[in-house]
Structure formats: C-alpha cells, structure tokens
Structure 1
Amino acid sequence: MNFQRSEEQQMIIENLRKFLDNEIEPAFREHGEGFIPREKMQGWVQALTEFGMTKAPFGEEWGGFGMDWLTHLMVFEEVAYTSLDIAIPGFINACGAELLRRTASEEIQQKYIPDILACNKFIAIGISEPDVGSDVAAVKTRAVLEGDHWVINGEKTWITNGEYADVFICTCLTGEGELTHILVDREEHGFETVGIPKMALNGQSTSQVFLSDVRVPVSNTIGERGQGLKNTLKIFEYARCHMSMWGVGVARRAMDESIKYSQERKQHGKLIAGHQLIADKIATMATKIDAARLLTYRAIDMVERGARADKECAMAKWFGTEIAVTAARDAVEIHGGNGVTKEFIVERLAREAIVSPIPDGTTEIQKLIISRALTGEQAFR
C-alpha cells in the first residue's frame, strides 16, 4: 500500500486548504453555531464540490472526478478540520450516492445521483428509530405493499441531513425479519422533519423524520426486497471510514491549536511548550492522529479492492473517533481556564468530539465487531 499523495491529490488539498482558510472559516465563524439555513449550506458545500467533496470517487458519467475514496477522505479531513457542520452534509451525500450507485435501478441512478453529487439535492439515510439504535434488524417502520405502491408508516430519528433532504432512503420492515430500502422523494411523496437540538453540531441538520401513509411506487425500491440489512452493512464500511476521518480532523485541529497556544503562553518563566507534561500531550496527539489516519487509509484501501473489511473499518472508526475525544480534552487542559471559554475554539472541539464515537455504531459496537472477526463468536443475535 502506497499512501503517498499524488501530485493531483497534493494540488487539490493545497488549494482546498487555502479556500477553507480564506473563505469558509471566516464565513462559518461569522455565522456561529446556530442552524445553517439550507440555501447557505448548499452554497458552501457546492463550492467544496469543486475540490472533490462528494465528487472525487465517482465517475465522470455522474459528474464526478473519477478518482477514489481515499482522495475523498483526504478532502473530508480538511473540511472537518475547519468545520464538521459543513463537512457532514457532503459526507452523507457521498455515502447516499454510493448506495444508489450500488443498488438502485438505472432510472433512479440517472434521476438522482448527478444532483446529489453536485449538492443540488441533499440525501438522507434513515435507519435509527426511537427504540432502534445499534440493533438495525429491529427496525419497526413498516412498508406494506398495496398494488404497485408501498405505503410507509413510521418514525426515524437521528437522521443527518434530515431537514435539508430532498431524497430519503428509508429502511423499512417489509415482511417478517425482512428489511428493504425504499427511496422517498420529499416533493413527490412527502415526509415531515423536526430538528433535534444537541450539545454540538447544531449548524448541520440532525432530525426526526415522520412518515404517515406515505405512498411510494414499488419502482423506488432500492436493491432487492429483503436486502436492506446487507446493503446497510456495506455502506457502513464507507461511513465508518469517514467517521474516523471526522475524528482525525477534529483531533488535528485540537493539536494545532494546542501547539500554537503552547508557543505563545508562558508560565514559570518559559513557554509552556517547553514543559514536559505539555510536550507529552502534544507528542501523544500527533502519534495517535497519524495512527488513526493510517488505520483509515488501510480500511478504505481494502473496501475499494473488494476485500472483506468489517474488522478494519471498525478499528478505524473506534480509534479515530476516540482520539478526537482525548485530543480535544487535552487541548482544553493545555489552554487551562481559557480552554473552557468561547474565545478559544478548543471549547467547541471538545463538545464536537464527544459526539464522534456514537454515530454509525458506538465504540462498544466496533469492539464487538472486531472480536467477532477474531474469535468467530457472535455477540449479536
């Protein structure tokens, strides 16, 4: 495996970094942490597609760059470093488009994928429910076949992109122990969304989705009937690699803010960067960030080669998101009292980091997946 950046990747990342620093960061700071209206969010993410956000791993026939998922993860890391709120909608659009590319009919693909990659439309994927989290197989939202239509009733929660979504891929119970993905178009079929306030990441949309007697043509079935769980687990591999890079982006920003502060702040007659315990924290951050990034690169390389990678993706997701928590906490401690004030960004990073280990399978779930792969013993029913 060679993870040395190509000249093209290096050029993309350098130009993206300049754009993020000069355009996106000032605009995001001016906006603050409140909800970002759809029009503003769409403008930002559409600008980022020109650097490969959402587009990098998709072929030119879809309006993509024809590159790879590794490049997309590099781009995602940079955007996450600046703002997770702005990075997340593009991540969901990329994973949603991949689900359609893999499993949807040609008609559905042609209708939606180009607009999703260009961020003319937003997509959301609905799995979690009020009583369903890690146990995906326990989904209760039901789709009943009536002639040539599905009639869907249920509630989804913790749905990223929910309030923005033009397209909703709903995981439905379509028979005894049978899960199926069905595409619901907000304009054509309708669904209701309500935002969920959180301790962080309130700029982007996390919402409840309500479906009441929603009639959707059977032709909007995504993949084969009953294959929803299998297809979800495959998309989890892409999602977990992005979650790891979410953590790497936050941790790297926390480290850089810590380095900067330690080179300016003096205590006991010298810069705190020269104090051994501060140096230890910074060195540990740097080493764990590199380790998390390499775990993620290995995982996405395996996914792209078609190798089984559930264990490696779980390792990356666990390690990458947890190092965000420890790095952000250490950054707050390095900043001392200043670290808990709104004046310094590490306060925000610490709140965002705490969220990181939860989506797309908690750390505990990732450990069970790893153990199952190693021992052959099933922890789930």
Structure 2
Amino acid sequence: MNFELSDDQNMAVENWRRFLEREIKPITDQHRDKPFPKDVLKGLLRATCEYGVGNGWVPEEGGGLGLDFVTSGLLYEELARVSADLAGAAFVNEGAAVKVFNAGSPELRERYLEATLAGELIGCSAISEPNAGSHVRGMRTKAVREGDTYRLNGEKLWISNSSAADYTVAVALTGEQEFTMFLVDRDEHGFETREVEKLGLNSWSMGQVIFNDVVVPAKNILGKVGGGLRETMKGFERSRCFISLVALGLGRASLDASIDYAQQRQAFGKPIGAHQLVQQLIAEMAIELEASRLMVFRALSLLDLGAGSNVEAAMAKAFTTEAVQRITSKAIQVHGAFGVTSEFPVERHFRSARMLTIPDGTTQINNLIIGRKLLGLDAFA
C-alpha cells in the first residue's frame, strides 16, 4: 500500500491551501455566528469550484472536473480546516448536482447542472423528517399524482443549505413504501424554509423545508417513480466519508492551534509545551487524528476502486467524529481558561465537532451497520 501523494495531488493541495488563506479565510472569518448570506455563499462557491470543490465529483462529460475521491477528499479536508461551514455547504451543493447528473432528464440537466457546478445555483437534498430521523422509510411527506403533476405535502427537517437553496432534491411517498425523488424549484414551484438555531457550524445553513400543496410537474422526477430511496441510499457512503473529512479539518485546526499556543504560552518559566502533561495532550490529539485520516482515506480509496465501502465508510464516520470530539476537547484543555472564550477558535471547533456525530447516521446507527456486516444479523429488522 502506497500512502504517498502524487506530485499532482501535492501541487493541487498546496495551491489550494494558499488560495484558501488568501481569498477564502478573510471572508469566512466574518461569518461565524449566522448562516452565510446567499450572495456571499454564491460568491464563495464560485471561487471554490475553480479548484474542483463543489464540482469535482461530477464527470467531465457532465461539466465537472471528474476528480477521484481521494484527491477531492484532500481538498475538502483542507477547506474544512479553514471553514468547516463552507466545506459543508459546498458538499451539499455538489451532492445535489450529482443527483441531477445521475438521475435528471436532459432538460433538467441543461437547466440546473451547469449553474450548480458553477456556484450560480444552490441546491440541497431534503430527506430527513422530524418524526423519522434515521428511519428513512418512516418519512411521511407525500406526493399525489394529478395528471401531469404531483402535489407535495409534508415537512423536512435538518436540511443543509435550506435557507440559501434555489432548489431542493426531495424524496416523497408516491405509494405504499414507494419513494420518489423530485427536483423542486423555490421560485417556480414554491417551498418554505425556516432556519434552525444550533450548537455549532452556525455559518452552514440548516433548517426546515415545508411543502404545502406544492405542485411539481412529473417531468421533474429524478430517476424513476419509486426509485428515490435507492438513489438516496447510494449517496450515504460518500456522505459519511464527507462528514468524516469535515471532522478531520476541525481536528487539524484544533491541533495546529494547540501546538502554536503551547509553543508561545509561558508558565513556570518555560513554554507550556515543555511540560510533560501538555506534551501528552498534544501527542494524544495527533495520534487520534492520524488514525482517523487513515480510516477516512481508506474508505475514499475503495470508492475510487469502485468497490463497496459501506462498512469502511461507517467505521470511518463513527470513529472519526467521536475522536474529533476528544481532540477538540483536549485543545480547550491545552488553552486553559482561554480555551473556553470566543477569542480563541478552539471553543468553536469543539461545538462544531459535537454536531458531526448526528448526520448521515448517528454513531449508533453506523455501529449497527458494522455489526450487521460482521454478524450477519440485522438489528434494523
């Protein structure tokens, strides 16, 4: 197994890192407590897509850059180190574009795909519901056929990019245990959104999407009638890897901040980094971060090989998001009293890290996926 990056990958990451520090960080630092305004977010997405973030997973024939998953993962990890919130918004937008590319009609592709990949349109995916959560088959949003249209009624919750989205890719019941995916345009078809205030990742929009007698033409179905659940489940391996990449970025930012602080802060006549217990904290953070990276990029490499990575992605997501909670907590400990103030970034990283054990399968759900594979017994049944 070769763990070395190629020259092209090293060059791409280095150029991307310089660009982020120069062009992106000054903007994202101004928007830490509230969701990015829509015009600001579109400007950021237009900038990041030049480097393959937001359009890298769509093949070249669809207007994307067609990056491999490992290279794209390296870029997302680097972005999450600077702004986990923007990394989240870019990924969700890219995920919507992938669904349009994979399942959209030529008409829908022409209208939405290129604009989404260029950062001119913002998309989101509306799957989760208040009373369903991880039980995807428990969703209750319905789409009733009326001639050449469908009438949607229901409520989605915990939807990333919701307040900024120009369109949403929504899954609804079209029959008994029959789930269908629709592209719903905010301006053309109309849907309501409400932002949800949360613990962390506060620049990344997350909220409620409400369909109240929303009429959508049948031609806006993505894929086939009844194929929505299959299309939804296909994206979970990639999504779990992505959430893990956001966690890696937060972990790296916390470790970097802690090393810098430990080298400069003086106590008892020497830098605190020269004290044994501080070195132990730093070492433990680095060990967990490195173990997490190996698991995440192992899962991404399997995606590149075209092999199934359901279990590996679940392992990476469960381990990494829990590990980064410990890493960010230790970062606060290294900073002492300053660590719990908003003047230093580690308290924000800690709050954001706590968010990541929930989406795309909680730690417990991912453990059940792993257990099912190992034992051959289904706890979901």
TM-score range, shorter chain: over 0.9
Determine the C-alpha separation between the residues in 2 that align with 1:73 and 1:46: 19
Q: Which moved more, 1:269-278 or 1:197-206?
A: 269-278
Q: Report 1:13-92 matches (<5 A).
A: 13-92=13-92
- What amino acid is the match of 1:369? I
Q: Secondary structure at the match of 2:51?
A: coil
Q: Which moved more, 1:24-33 or 1:282-291?
A: 24-33
Q: Report 1:63-212 matches (<5 A).
A: 63-212=63-212
1:33–1:203 Cα contact (<8 Å) kept: yes
Determine the C-alpha separation between the residues in 1 that align with 2:11 and 2:264: 31
2:123–2:167 Cα contact (<8 Å) kept: yes
Give the CA deviation at 1:34.
2.2
Determine the C-alpha separation between the residues in 2 that align with 1:158 and 1:343: 29
Give the CA deviation at 1:3.
4.4
In structure 1, the partner of 2:334 is 334
Determine the C-alpha separation between the residues in 2 that align with 1:7 and 1:142: 50
1:247–1:321 Cα contact (<8 Å) kept: yes
2:191–2:214 Cα contact (<8 Å) kept: yes
Name stretches of at least 5 consecutive residues in structure 1 with no aligned partner.
none
Q: Secondary structure at the match of 1:30?
A: coil
In structure 2, the partner of 1:297 is 297
Deviation digits for residues 198-245 of structure 1 (CA, Å, limit 9, x no counterpart)? 122221211111101111111211122222222211101111110000
Residue 232 to residue 315, structure 1, CA distance change in 2 (3 Å):
same
Deviation digits for residues 237-270 of structure 1 (CA, Å, limit 9, x no counterpart)? 1111100001100001100101111111122332
1:180–1:229 Cα contact (<8 Å) kept: yes
Q: Secondary structure at the match of 1:226?
A: coil
Determine the C-alpha separation between the residues in 2 that align with 1:261 and 1:42: 34
Q: Which moved more, 1:268-277 or 1:212-221?
A: 268-277
Q: Secondary structure at the match of 1:263?
A: helix
Determine the C-alpha separation between the residues in 1 that align with 2:135 and 2:206: 20
Determine the C-alpha separation between the residues in 2 that align with 1:101 and 1:32: 32
In structure 1, the partner of 2:284 is 284
Give the CA deviation at 1:353.
0.7
Give the CA deviation at 1:68.
1.4
Deviation digits for residues 135-175 of structure 1 (CA, Å, limit 9, x no counterpart)? 00100000111111111000111110101111211110111
Determine the C-alpha separation between the residues in 2 that align with 1:145 and 1:2: 53
Residue 183 to residue 16, structure 1, CA distance change in 2 (3 Å):
same
1:266–1:272 Cα contact (<8 Å) kept: yes
Q: Which moved more, 1:95-104 or 1:312-321?
A: 95-104
Determine the C-alpha separation between the residues in 2 that align with 1:208 and 1:263: 44
Give the CA deviation at 1:75.
0.9
Q: Which moved more, 1:78-87 or 1:24-33?
A: 24-33
Determine the C-alpha separation between the residues in 2 that align with 1:145 and 1:63: 33
In structure 1, the partner of 2:240 is 240
In structure 2, the partner of 1:353 is 353
Residue 118 to residue 249, structure 1, CA distance change in 2 (3 Å):
same
Give the CA deviation at 1:53.
0.5
Determine the C-alpha separation between the residues in 1 that align with 2:96 and 2:70: 17
Determine the C-alpha separation between the residues in 2 that align with 1:139 and 1:30: 37
Determine the C-alpha separation between the residues in 2 that align with 1:57 and 1:209: 26
2:192–2:210 Cα contact (<8 Å) kept: yes
Q: Secondary structure at the match of 2:377?
A: coil
Determine the C-alpha separation between the residues in 2 that align with 1:335 and 1:130: 38
In structure 2, the partner of 1:268 is 268
Name stretches of at least 5 consecutive residues in structure 2 with no aligned partner.
none
Determine the C-alpha separation between the residues in 2 that align with 1:155 and 1:284: 43
Give the CA deviation at 1:303.
2.2
Q: TM-score, normalised by structure 1?
A: 0.96
In structure 1, the partner of 2:309 is 309
Determine the C-alpha separation between the residues in 2 that align with 1:121 and 1:163: 13
Q: Secondary structure at the match of 1:295?
A: helix
Deviation digits for residues 27-61 of structure 1 (CA, Å, limit 9, x no counterpart)? 22234422321001111121111111112232333
Give the CA deviation at 1:342.
1.0
Q: Secondary structure at the match of 2:209?
A: strand
Residue 66 to residue 32, structure 1, CA distance change in 2 (3 Å):
closer
- What amino acid is the match of 1:263? Q
Q: Which moved more, 1:20-29 or 1:78-87?
A: 20-29
Instruction: Give yes or no for the alignment of 1:5 onto 2:5.
Output: yes
